[in-house]
Amino acid sequence: MPYLFPDLRVFHKKKSAKKRVRVYMDGCFDLMHYGHANALRQAKALGDELVVGVVSDEEIISNKGPPVLSMQERLALVSGLKWVDEVIPNAPYEITEDFMNRLFKEHNIDYIIHGDDPCLLPDGTDAYALAKKVGRYKQIKRTEGVSSTDIVGRILSCIKDVKSDKLCSEPSGEFDSLNNTQISKSQANGGHVSHFLPTSRRIVQFSNGKGPGPNSRVVYIDGAFDLFHAGHVEILKSAKQLGDFLLVGIYADHTVSELRGTNFPLMNLHERSLSVLACRYVDEVIIGAPLEVTKDMITTFNISLVVHGTIAEENPLLNGELDPYAVPKSMGIFQMLESPKDITTTSIARRIIANHEIYLKRNAKKEACEKKYYAQKKYVSAD
C-alpha cells in the first residue's frame, strides 16, 4: 500500500491535523491603551487566530456617546497590535443572533471573548447573552488601573483654557470663556492618577523576548509616546521598514514633564512602555531613555540608524539650545522620517477639550459604573 499510494501518510496527517481555533473579540478601542492590548493578548491565548471587531462610530454614539478617535484611527491602532490576525470594521455593539451566526459561518469563529467587567446595553441587558446561551463564550480578566474613561478624566483635569484649546501645567479651576461655566478642582482632579501596578511578568508577556542578530540593521527612534495613537503606529511602521530590528526609546516621566509641563505625561512610563511594546513593528524598548542620543548608546545597542518624525509635539524648553541628535548627525546615521499622519497627543486632547461638557457628563456616568464594578469584582485567576 505505501508503494501504490506514496502520499497516503501525508493525506492522513493533513486529515488528522488539529483545527485552528479562531476567537473573536470586539470593542470600541477608543483612546486605545495597554489595557485594550492586554485584553487582546489574553484573547489570542485562548485560540490560534484572533479576529477583532471594531465597533462603528454610529453604534458607539448610540450606546456610549461620541468617540474621540475616528474609525480609521481606531482600525490603525487595532491592526497595529502584535496579537491581532484579522479586523472586522464597523462591528455592532450588541452581539445579535444575526451577527453571531455571521461570525460562526462566514468568519469561522469558534468562541466569542469578553472581559469579566459587564457590558450592558442601554436597556440593561447583557450584550453577550446570546453567545453565553449557545456555549460559545469565554471570559478574560480585565486589566486593572486603566480605562478610556480614566484617560479622558486625566485630559479633562488638564484644562487651562477651553476657548484656546490649551492644556495647563497644573490643574486649576479655570472658567470656560465660552459659557462662563467653571470647571471645579474637584471635577478636574477627580482622582485621575494612574492606578496601574506594573509587574515584571506583564512586561515579559508583552515583550518579544528576542534581541537583534549579529548582522541586524538596528533602527532607533525615541519619544514620549504619550497617549499612544495612530500617528505613533504609522511612524513606527515606517521606521521598521528601514532595518531589521526596531529599538524604541521611551522618555522617562521627568523628561517629558521638563519638556511639556508638570501635567505631562498623561500616561506614566510603564503605561507608555507597554503600549509601545504591544505594537507589532517594535522589537525592543529602552524604558526611560535619555533625551540625548549618545555615542555610548549607539555603541551599546549597535544602532545603525537614528530616525525622527517630521510631526512631533512642540518642546519650547529646548529653544534650539540642545540638539538631542547631534551625535548621530555627526556620524552620518541620522534621518528625518516623513510622518504619515499629523496626529499628536495634544491634538487628540484638544478634541476632548473642545467637547468637554459632553465628556464630563459621559465620564460621570461611566465612572459610577466603574466604581460599581470595582466594589463587586471578584478575583479572576487567568490573565
**What is the distance between the alpha carbons of residues 238 and 242, in angstroms, rounded to a whole number?**
7
Q: Which of 135, 75, 77 is nearest to 104 (CA)?
A: 135
For the stretch 166-218, pLDDT in tens is 555 433 333 232 233 333 333 333 445 566 777 899 999 999 989 999 899 99
Full pLDDT tens readout for the chain, 383 residues: 433 434 444 444 455 578 899 999 999 999 889 999 999 999 999 999 999 999 999 999 988 888 999 999 999 999 999 999 999 999 998 888 999 999 999 999 999 999 887 777 777 788 888 999 999 999 998 877 677 778 888 888 776 544 444 555 433 333 232 233 333 333 333 445 566 777 899 999 999 989 999 899 999 999 999 999 999 999 999 999 999 999 999 999 999 999 888 888 999 999 999 999 999 999 999 999 999 999 999 999 999 999 999 988 876 555 667 899 999 999 999 999 999 888 999 899 888 888 877 777 665 665 555 555 555 556 556 56
Sheet (strand 111-115) strand order: 86-91, 49-55, 22-27, 111-115, 137-140
Decide: 265 and 167 in contact? Cβ < 8 Å.
Answer: no
- Is 298 in a helix, a strand, or coil? helix
Polymer length in residues for the chain: 383
**pTM listed for this prediction:** 0.82
**What is the distance between the alpha carbons of residues 266 and 227, in angstroms, rounded to a whole number?**
7
| Ramachandran category for residue 108: left, alpha or beta (phi over 0 → left; psi -120 to 50 → alpha) | left
- Is 26 in a helix, a strand, or coil? strand
Q: Which of 130, 125, 149 is nearest to 36 (CA)?
A: 149
